[in-house]
């Protein structure tokens, strides 16, 4: 009976595979969102609108950053929890991607949240006269919370890696 339960539990890891495939579909949505945002930027510039090119570029970079995180979670998660990925000739170039552990992924995600929050805060600062004072204060507090959390998680991950001998 114990052996049967172990086999069922071990085989159940394959239930994660559809979730990783779902992330691939999310990646397709990010590609669409990127080009939609790019089209809005081009349209705004052609119409002579007051588009903040820097802010628009940061929004595009934000989409790319999150899409990259989706790829990292998809590939490293599948490799860590489901099955080894055989990349053939590309194995050497992309081996770092399959070697990411959950701790380093968490640090990257929290760091990205801090960057996304910073972009939103910058967006609000461009229209500072329309932002209620209380809202701006809370946005700054949240931004600082995300940054401190990301730093603490990175330190904890590094300390844990040293303790584990990595």
**Tens digits of per-residue pLDDT, 9-26?**
888 989 999 999 999 999
Can you give the pLDDT at residue 39? 92
Residues 69-119 have pLDDT tens digits of: 898 888 888 887 888 777 676 566 666 666 667 777 777 788 888 888 888
- What pLDDT digit, counting tens, does each position of 44-81 carry? 888 776 657 777 888 898 899 889 889 888 888 888 78
What does the longest C-alpha to C-alpha distance in the chain come to? 72
Backbone angles phi, psi at 10, to 5 degrees: -65, -40
What are the CA-CA distances from residue 132 to residues 3, 73, 103, 121, 156 (Å)?
A: 62, 37, 37, 13, 36
Handedness of CA 25, 29, 30, 31 (dihedral sign): positive
Identify whether the C-beta of residue 71 lies closer than 8 Å to the C-beta of residue 114: no
- Total domains in the fold of the chain: 1
Average pLDDT, whole number, for the chain?
A: 82
- Domain extent at residue 109: 2-164
């Amino acid at each position: 009976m114990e052996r049967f339960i172990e086999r069922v539990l071990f085989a159940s890891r394959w239930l994660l595979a559809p979730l990783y495939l779902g992330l691939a579909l999310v990646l397709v949505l990010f590609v669409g969102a990127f080009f939609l945002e790019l089209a809005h930027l081009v349209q705004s510039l052609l119409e002579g609108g007051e588009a903040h090119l820097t802010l628009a570029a940061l929004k595009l970079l934000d989409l790319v950053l999150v899409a990259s995180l989706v790829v990292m979670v998809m590939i490293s998660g599948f490799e860590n929890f489901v099955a080894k990925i055989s990349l053939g000739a590309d194995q050497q170039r992309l081996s770092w991607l399959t070697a990411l552990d959950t701790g380093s992924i968490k640090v990257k995600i929290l760091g990205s949240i801090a960057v996304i929050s910073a972009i939103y805060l910058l967006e609000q600062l461009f229209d500072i006269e329309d932002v209620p004072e209380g809202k701006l204060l809370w946005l700054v507090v949240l931004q600082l919370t995300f940054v401190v959390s990301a730093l603490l998680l990175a330190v904890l991950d590094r300390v844990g890696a040293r303790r584990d001998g990595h």
